[in-house]
Structure 1
Amino acid sequence: MADAPTVTDPTDRTGPAGPAAPPTDAVRRHDPASRGFASDNYAGVHPEVLAALALANGGHQVAYGGDEYTAHLQEVFRRHFGPTAEVFPVFNGTGANVTALQAVTERWGAVVCAESAHINVDECGAPERVGGLKLLTVPTPDGKLTPELVDRQAYGFDDEHRAQPQVVSITQTTELGTCYTPEEIKALCDHAHQLGMAVHLDGARLANAAASLGVPLARFTTEAGVDILSFGGTKNGLLLGECVVVLSPERVRALLHLRKLSMQLASKMRFVSVQFEALLAGDLWLRSAEHANAMARRLDAAVRGIDGVRVMRPVQANAVFALLPREVSERLQKRYRFYFWDESTGEVRWMCAFDTTEDDVDGFAAAIAEEMASGA
């Protein structure tokens, strides 16, 4: 079994890649010590991923996925998702979701999803405008679908006037920071398959879910019956890139063509693939996710002791949702970046990342206490 790619000195550029690189004219335009709690996308690139990118650089490799790194990536993903898994690197999460959903639907197909789902709220209508898919949404209290909730939209299969429900799409972890258990996902998959529907899993934070649940990635994907998933890397320390992972090849059609059609085919794909090798060949994916989750738990514990701050949802991964006076939140935003989750109620979301430190969390919690003490 191959180990994760390592580089003894990623700054050494002598040899096949040529002499040492000349000085760059770029200048640093930010404070590298700055931290916020707006999104795990704000974090930089994990040093081990940067080292892997340097390893893949130099010389020529076949473009558009014909390179050695992308070929080896199939083996890396199969260790986690089983021997029939097929992986297709893409540029970003929206591209992964749209491409994956097209691969398991027909032109008249529809997707059942939670009302809060990223594909419904935060992808600028891409599944509908680019993918040509109808989204059939269901309100959920915690971001999670159940077989009973799916049935609210999974009907009219013989009605020629209605877009046909063909896929159930779930998110792990959900947009509300909650985790499906393996048993919950299996129940959804069993129910969907009985209805003749496929199951897509949006896994932008799949690693955080596995770390939270303490189970292998396959436990709540392949073994539970998921047919196709979007595997996130950017939120867990990658520079860019996500993957579409096919778990039920018999349900998936023409993904090679769909990836190009959806403008998700990277020419220098080796630089996407080697990042995922660095993430998944060893335990980097788990270490980073466990750390981000632990920082969210630390923040949760710290703010629960502050009078007037109310944590609104279970902290099951790397997100904390809280309610505090709007004026306090607006003052805090001048010191730390974060977003309002619900403008109507003033609920905010605080995200932790692989590089969030205990000092970052403690400093933020102290700032919250200071602003609360100053009054609304």
Structure 2
Amino acid sequence: MTSTPVHARGFASDNYSGIHPEVLAAITAANVDHEPAYGADSVTERLRGVFAGHFGKRVEVFPVFNGTGANVTALQSMLPRWGAVIAASTAHVNSDEGGAPEKVGGIKLLTIPTPDGKLTPELIDTEAWGWGDEHRAQPLVVAITQSSELGTLYSPAEIRAIADHVHERGMLLYMDGARISNAAAALDLPLHAFTTDVGVDVVSVGGTKNGALAAEAIVVLTDSASVGLHYLRKMNMQLASKMRFVSAQLIALYEADLFLRNARHANAMAARLRRGLEEAIAAGSIRGVGFTQQTQANGIFATLPAGAADRVRESFRFYDWDASVGEVRWVCSFDTTESDIDTLIEAIARATNA
């Protein structure tokens, strides 16, 4: 039996995209001669300077392989064994990491339902209690995601309010920045403006979803916010022996403006998809489609009529988000084209009118 062909540009995740040619070229350029291993190389030293330019001169940089490794390792370094992390219930650390924070990191997660994937000081207070109670895991870190798993953004003011609230209670603030480039592009702000400048203590900086092969980094922004990362990175199998090839990818993205160029394009394609669907809905050529979240970065969340998602999936890959209500997620990437968007809209129109 011949399988149904699926369109080459998937909308399931920005992880589906390939390696950006400039990143691939950077890997090749680093592939000369011998360099010291485990981060003592000249490429990784150069990366430290690049990230110092984005986040501040006093930052510490720890390249790792993937986002789960970055989250688990960073959070471990911010907590004692009795500590817990407050996060949105939709947070990647809770819903998409196979229990790694608990099973590998030994971290208790205190999760909070949110309508838009974002925490607020008021929501945080529903779990920020019980300090000194030996029967309760101690809430000592709050984790937020920028942009969130629902494609929404925190403004710098919102992050500052959370940071102040958290710090007043003796807690630390961690930012999962798997899609931090999309946030920077959408906010039109430098990275430090919504991290270092507003009180974030530790941030993961994503690369893989924005054109890298396997490259993320943990960046420590404030003194004493993190302990033992040199050891934890190795223990968690995130220490690259040939680290220059991880660092080279991040340099290619962040030394100039490639991270913004890629993210701006992905965001623009998401905006085009949202706009095109809204226009088709208004014109009556698409029926029964609604939106469940704002489209602020590169993800679109929508509901489709019964059976329509499977009909669209005959041509395009994408995920159900909440199948019980027909909610799906479409994610655009640095290599999504206008033609991809227009063809997807046409497929949705056919599926909703079948």
Query: Residue 324 in 1 paired to residue 304 in 2?
Result: yes
Residue 32 of structure 1: how far off its partner (Å): 12
How far apart, in 2, do the equivalents of 1:251 and 1:216 lie? 22
CA distance in 1, matches of 2:307, 2:260: 37
Is the partner of 1:363 in helix, strand or coil? helix
Moved over 6 A (4+): none
Equivalence for 1:346: 326
SS at match of 2:61: strand
* Residue 78 (1) aligns with residue 52 (2): yes
> Counterpart in 1 of 2:69?
95
Distance 1:194 1:230 in 2: 23
The alignment partner of 1:291 has SS state of helix
324, 334, 338: which one aligns with 1:358: 338
1:35 aligned to 2:9? Answer: yes
Paired amino acid for 1:240: A
Alpha-carbon offset, residue 33 of structure 1? 7.8
Shift of 1:249: 2.6
How much is the aligned-residue C-alpha RMSD, in angstroms? 1.2
C-alpha separation between the residues in 2 aligned to 1:118 and 1:88?
20
Structure 1 residues 367 and 226, CA gap change in structure 2 (3 angstroms): same
Q: How does 1:204-283 map to 2 (within 5 A)?
A: 204-283=178-257
- 2:229, 2:208 → 1: CA distance? 22
TM score, norm. by length of structure 2: 0.96
- 1:236–1:32 CA distance, 2 compared to 1 (3 A): farther
Aligned counterpart in structure 2 of residue 337 of structure 1, from 309, 313, 317 = 317
Partner AA of 1:131 in structure 2: G
Distance 1:209 1:97 in 2: 18
CA positional deviation for 1:214: 1.0
User: Which residue matches 2:290?
Assistant: 310
Partner of 2:283 in structure 1?
Answer: none
Aligned to 2:174, which of 200, 215, 235?
200
- CA drift of 1:312 comes to 1.6
Residue 370 (structure 1) shift: 1.5
Q: Deviations over 1:259-292 (max 9, x none)?
A: 0011100111100000000001100000000000
Pairing 1:124–2:98 present: yes
SS in 1 for 2:325: coil
Q: CA deviation at 1:229?
A: 0.9
Matched residue type, 2:319? Y
Q: CA deviation at 1:119?
A: 0.3
1:145 match: 119
* Amino acid in structure 2 at the alignment position of 1:296: A
**Mapped contact 2:269–2:341 kept (Cα < 8 A):** yes
Q: Deviations over 1:316-352 (max 9, x none)?
A: 0000011111311101111100000002111000000
Aligned 1:2-41 pairs, distance under 5 A:
34-41=8-15
Q: Give ranges in structure 2 of 5+ residues lacking alignment.
A: 281-285
Q: Separation in 1 of the partners of 2:316 and 2:287?
A: 20
Deviation digits for residues 150-189 of structure 1 (CA, Å, limit 9, x no counterpart): 1111101010111000000000011111000000000000
Unaligned runs of 5+ in 1: 1-30
Report the counterpart of residue 347 of structure 2 in structure 1. Answer: 367
- Is the 8 Å Cα contact of residues 15 and 209 (structure 2) preserved in structure 1? yes
**SS class of match (1:292):** helix
Larger helix proportion of the pair: 2
Deviations 1:118-163 (A, max 9, x none): 1000111111111111000111111110011111111010101110
Structure 1 letter corresponding to 2:97: E
Shift of 1:256: 0.3
2:162 alignment partner, one of 188, 192, 210 = 188
Describe the superposition over 1:42-84 as per-residue Cα deviations: whole angstroms up to 9, x where unpaired. Answer: 0000000011011000211111111110011100001100111
Amino acid at match of 1:152: T
User: SS of the counterpart of 2:144?
Assistant: strand
Counterpart CA distance in 2 for 1:137 and 1:308 is 32
- Whole-Å separation in 1 of the counterparts to 2:128 and 2:353: 50
Identity %: 59
